[in-house]
């Protein structure tokens, strides 16, 4: 099948041949293409959708994208998306869940990793309970452009257009069927749909510890995590960063006390799981993910409640000079990626 062949014609001058080219990718049935690309990652599916009409149609097939969505995606849509148009395709739903969605007054952000569909969450320092945070002799919330960018490596599967300063307009091409042109030729009809997405990618601030005797940070979250294994981290840095003449510098003036004893990390889940770790804080001027522990989710139809803590409560000495950005929750397989990039501690 698909071999090159020729057709012979007899004319007065003798035999002549007319070559007929072999079938191309555009001749493949759309259903066949969809079955094949379903084994690829979402970014690869979107790239192949640019090849031709058959691949474009297959790249929008609902059954392809339903296999990429978490099993409880409808629960996630109801939980984190404020508005979803009716009859939205699975690819559009996947795209919206891959954007950074805000919960609890902007203190929590949730999104799907665009390549794997794994659920990720970030909890800002303002969403944590920090002992002494109201006393400016000890702690301060300071503005910064180094707060974690939850969307830093995301590529939208639609198009983003700025809308003033408070939101984006998320544009999605949606296949609405086939129409017949005036020449009788059938054509696919695509409609550009727009959905407003709030401008909410950065936390814009971190908590900075100048000095304290009793160091304690607690957090709590309840969320319908999809089934799987997850790792939890505190994102911390010793020293306060700033910019001078366009260059990043780190002020280590207040750093002290962290070499005396390690910081203890713990987490508990509502179904009885418990994890703990400890680590000595070092290397000023760099943001690191300090691994608290892992937890597993088996039932994605109900919410999992997680409590976590970070303490160093030896009152024989003070400690200070620490920046606390956030707590992040990733699928456990991402821990190896953080290690390879040099961002992981503990």
Do 325 and 215 lie in one domain? The reply is: yes
Total domains in the chain come to 2
Do 215 and 116 lie in one domain? The reply is: yes
The CATH number covering residue 303 comes to 2.60.120.260
Q: What is the pLDDT of residue 248?
A: 86
Q: What is the pLDDT of residue 203?
A: 65
Do 137 and 245 lie in one domain? The reply is: yes
Q: What is the pLDDT of residue 52?
A: 85
Chain segment 312-342, per-residue pLDDT in tens: 998 889 999 999 999 999 999 999 999 999 9
Q: What is the pLDDT of residue 27?
A: 65
Listed in sequence order, the residues at least 6 apart from 333 whose beta carbon sits closer than 8 Å to its beta carbon are 118
Do 111 and 62 lie in one domain? The reply is: no
Residues of the chain with pLDDT under 50: 1-10, 15-19, 149-201
Q: What is the pLDDT of residue 83?
A: 77
Do 224 and 128 lie in one domain? The reply is: yes
Do 242 and 323 lie in one domain? The reply is: yes
- Of the residues 68, 95, 128, the one at which a domain ends: 68
Q: What is the pLDDT of residue 301?
A: 87
Do 44 and 143 lie in one domain? The reply is: no
Tell me the residue range of the domain where 248 lies: 103-151+201-341
Do 251 and 320 lie in one domain? The reply is: yes
Chain segment 269-324, per-residue pLDDT in tens: 999 999 999 999 989 999 999 999 999 999 988 999 999 999 999 888 999 999 99
Q: What is the pLDDT of residue 198?
A: 42
- Of the residues 8, 43, 68, the one at which a domain ends: 68
- Residue 228 falls inside a structural domain: yes
């Amino acid at each position: 099948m698909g071999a090159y062949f020729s057709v012979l014609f007899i004319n007065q001058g003798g035999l002549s041949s007319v070559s007929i080219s072999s079938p191309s990718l555009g001749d493949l049935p759309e259903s066949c293409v969809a079955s094949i690309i379903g084994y690829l990652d979402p970014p690869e599916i979107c790239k192949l959708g640019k090849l031709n009409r058959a691949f474009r149609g297959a790249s929008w097939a609902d059954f392809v994208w339903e296999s990429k969505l978490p099993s409880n995606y409808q629960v996630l849509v109801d939980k984190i998306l404020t508005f979803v148009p009716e009859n939205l395709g699975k690819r559009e739903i996947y795209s919206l869940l891959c954007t950074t969605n805000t919960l609890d007054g902007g203190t929590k952000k949730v999104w799907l990793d665009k390549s794997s569909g794994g659920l990720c969450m970030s909890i800002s320092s303002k969403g944590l309970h920090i002992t002494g945070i109201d006393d400016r002799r000890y702690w301060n919330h300071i503005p910064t452009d180094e707060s974690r960018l939850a969307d830093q490596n995301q590529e939208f599967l639609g198009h983003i257009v700025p809308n003033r300063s408070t939101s984006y307009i998320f544009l999605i091409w949606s296949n609405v069927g086939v129409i017949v042109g005036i020449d009788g030729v059938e054509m696919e009809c695509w409609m550009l749909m727009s959905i407003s997405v709030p401008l909410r990618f950065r936390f814009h601030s971190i908590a900075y510890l100048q000095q304290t005797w009793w160091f304690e940070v607690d957090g709590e979250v309840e969320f319908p995590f999809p089934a799987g294994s997850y790792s939890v981290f505190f994102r911390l840095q010793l020293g306060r960063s700033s910019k001078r003449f366009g260059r990043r510098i780190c002020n280590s003036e207040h750093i002290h006390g962290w070499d005396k004893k390690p910081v203890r990390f713990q987490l508990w889940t509502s179904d009885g799981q418990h994890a703990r770790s400890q680590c000595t804080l070092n290397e000023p001027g760099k943001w690191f993910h300090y691994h608290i522990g892992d937890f597993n989710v088996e039932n994605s139809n109900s919410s999992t409640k997680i409590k976590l803590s970070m303490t160093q409560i030896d009152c024989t000495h003070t400690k200070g000079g620490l920046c606390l950005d956030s707590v992040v929750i990733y699928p456990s397989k991402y821990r190896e990626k953080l290690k390879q990039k040099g961002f992981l501690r503990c």
